[in-house]
Homo-oligomer: A and B are copies of this chain.
C-alpha cells in the first residue's frame, strides 16, 4: 500500500482546529473558553468562532461562567452535549452480551447486559446473538436522540477495514462478517438510517478505553494485558492506537514462551495463555475446590473460581499461592519480551490480572528486573481502572472517532440521513 502525503488547505486547518477543540471537550467534559485557548494555543477570537460553529452543530453548549475565584473577568464555560449526541456500543463477550448508549464525553447513559443462556439470550449462534443485540438496542434507543455511530467489541480476531471476524475461538465462530451484519440487521432496522459500524477486538478496545479514560491516560506508549479465558493485548505506540496492517495486532496470547509447555488449541505448545491464562491458574491451583470443569466446551468463564483462588492466596493458602506465583512468573517472562519490544511508558493489567494485581505484582517486578533490558524504573506497572466497562467504553470511543475527526462533515451527513 502506497501512502501519498497530501498538502493542507484552509478547510483542513479549520477541520483540524474544530477537531482539536471538540476532542479536548470530549476528554475533559467541560472547559472554559480561556482554558481551551490555552490548551490549543489558539487565539481567543479563534476559539470563539470554533465554539460557535460547534454550537451550531449541536455538539456543545455555552453555559455558566467559570467561578473559580481567580481575578479578572470570568470565562464562559463550554460543555458537551452528552445527552444529544450518542453512539451505540456493543460488547460480545464469552459469557454475556451488552449494549450501551454512550454520550459524547464518554458518559454511559444507559446499559443492558444479558448473560448467555438466560433471559432468552442465545448461546453463540450468530443469528440468535444478532437478535439479542437488536432487542437490547431497541429498548435503549430513543427515536429523537441522534446516533452518530456504532462500535462493537468482540472476543475474536477482527479485520479493521470491514469488521470481518476471522475467527473467534471462544465463541466458536469462523468467518463472520460482523460489521455488515450489525449494520444491516441492527443499526438500519433499529434506527431507520445508516451510521458507520466499527468492530474491533475486545482487548484492543480495552487499551483504547484505558488510554482515553482509564489508567493509561497521558501515556504515549502503553502495553495493555487483559487476562480472561485467554490473554488479550492492546497497544498504544507514540500516542496512537496500534492495530496493524489488517487489524490483527495485539494477538499476544499465542506468543511462544515455553516449548515444553502444554498443547494449546492453536496447535502450538506452551503458548503464553496456556501458561499464564485463566485455565493455567485453575489447573495449578488444583481442581478440588472448583466446581467448573475447566476444559468443558462452551463453559462459562471461571471468573468466580479465579477470584476464590486469588482470595485464598491473599489469605496464605499455599496451593493458591503457588498457582498465583507460577502464573505471575510466566506472565512476567512474556511481559519482559513485550517491554523490550515496545519500551512502554506504562503497562496496564486488566481482567483477572487487574483483579489480582496486588498478589501478582511482587513476582512480576522481580522477574522484570531480571529480564527486561530497559532501566527498571522506566516502566510503570498499574492495574486497569475501568474493570468490566473497558470494552464498551472503548467501542464507544471507536465509534466517536469519525465525529471527533470531522465534526462538521459527520453532523451534516447525519442530518441528511435522518431527514430522509
Chain A residues with CB under 8 Å of chain B are 1-10, 12-13, 16-17, 20-21, 23-24, 39-42, 46, 157, 166-167, 218-221, 233, 235, 237-240, 242-252, 254-260, 266-268, 333-334, 336-338, 340-345, 370-371, 373-375, 378-379
Q: B157 contacts A374, CB within 8 Å?
A: yes
Which partner residue on chain B sits nearest A40 by CB separation? B7
Q: How far is the CA of A40 from the CA of B4 in the complex (A)?
A: 7
Min CB–CB distance A289 → chain B (angstroms): 29
Q: Which 10 A-B pairs have the closest CB atoms?
A: A244-B343, A255-B337, A245-B345, A248-B343, A7-B42, A221-B245, A249-B343, A251-B340, A7-B40, A7-B17
Min CB–CB distance A122 → chain B (angstroms): 26
Q: A40 contacts B254, CB within 8 Å?
A: no
Q: B5 contacts A20, CB within 8 Å?
A: yes
Chain B positions within 8 Å of A16 at CB level: 7-8
Chain B positions within 8 Å of A1 at CB level: 218-220, 345
Q: How far is the CA of A316 from the CA of B256 in the complex (A)?
A: 31
A254-B373, A255-B341 given; name 7 further pairs at CB < 8 Å: A1-B219, A6-B41, A10-B13, A238-B242, A240-B240, A255-B340, A267-B371
Q: How far is the CA of A252 from the CA of B373 in the complex (A)?
A: 10
Q: How far is the CA of A263 from the CA of B70 in the complex (A)?
A: 63
Q: A46 contacts B245, CB within 8 Å?
A: no
Q: A221-B245, A238-B240, A257-B259 are in contact. Are A341 and B338 (CB under 8 A)?
A: yes
Chain B positions within 8 Å of A371 at CB level: 254, 256, 266-268
Chain B positions within 8 Å of A3 at CB level: 218, 220, 239
Chain B positions within 8 Å of A235 at CB level: 341
Q: How far is the CA of A76 from the CA of B293 in the complex (A)?
A: 75
Q: B2 contacts A247, CB within 8 Å?
A: no
Q: A237 contacts B242, CB within 8 Å?
A: yes
Q: A6-B20, A220-B245 are in contact. Are A341 and B373 (CB under 8 A)?
A: no
Q: B252 contacts A340, CB within 8 Å?
A: yes
Q: A250 contacts B7, CB within 8 Å?
A: no
Q: How far is the CA of A234 from the CA of B40 in the complex (A)?
A: 33
Chain B positions within 8 Å of A255 at CB level: 337, 340-341
Chain B positions within 8 Å of A237 at CB level: 237-238, 240, 242, 244
Q: How far is the CA of A4 from the CA of B39 in the complex (A)?
A: 6
Q: Which residue, of A233, A268, A342, has the highest number of chain B Cβ atoms within 10 A? A: A342
